[in-house]
């Protein structure tokens, strides 16, 4: 009763993502981490003094774009189909 039908996918024991896709995902995660490092900092040591460093172009424009690019790169790495060498 536990027989599989012919049209069902067979489990061949392989991981669903190839090694190249995993490497691309790791690169995307690294890009996201770099973006979060770019957005960090800019605070004042004295809580009574306001620091305008939080409105720096790096934190407002560049870092969010780097993070967005990293997430888009991760999505691309997941959806990328491996080349079939048959």
Write down the pLDDT at residue 50.
85
Distance separating alpha carbons of residues 74 and 39, to the nearest angstrom: 20
71 touches 29 (CB < 8 A): no
pLDDT digits (tens, 9 = 90+) for 63-84: 999 999 999 999 999 999 877 7
**pTM, entire model:** 0.76
**Inter-axis angle of helices 63-79 and 19-39, to 10 degrees?**
170
27 touches 73 (CB < 8 A): yes
Residues 6+ apart with CB under 8 A from 76: 24, 28
pLDDT digits (tens, 9 = 90+) for 31-60: 999 999 999 977 778 888 888 888 889 999
Q: Which two tokens stand for residue 3?
A: 């027989």
């Amino acid at each position: 009763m536990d027989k599989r039908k012919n049209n069902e996918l067979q489990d061949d024991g392989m991981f669903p993502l190839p090694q190249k896709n995993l490497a691309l995902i790791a690169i995307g995660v690294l890009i996201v981490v770099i973006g979060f490092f770019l957005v960090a900092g800019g605070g004042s040591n004295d809580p009574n003094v306001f620091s305008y460093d939080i409105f720096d172009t790096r934190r407002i424009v560049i870092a969010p774009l780097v993070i967005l690019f990293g997430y888009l790169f991760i999505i691309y790495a997941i959806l990328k189909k491996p080349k079939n060498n048959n």
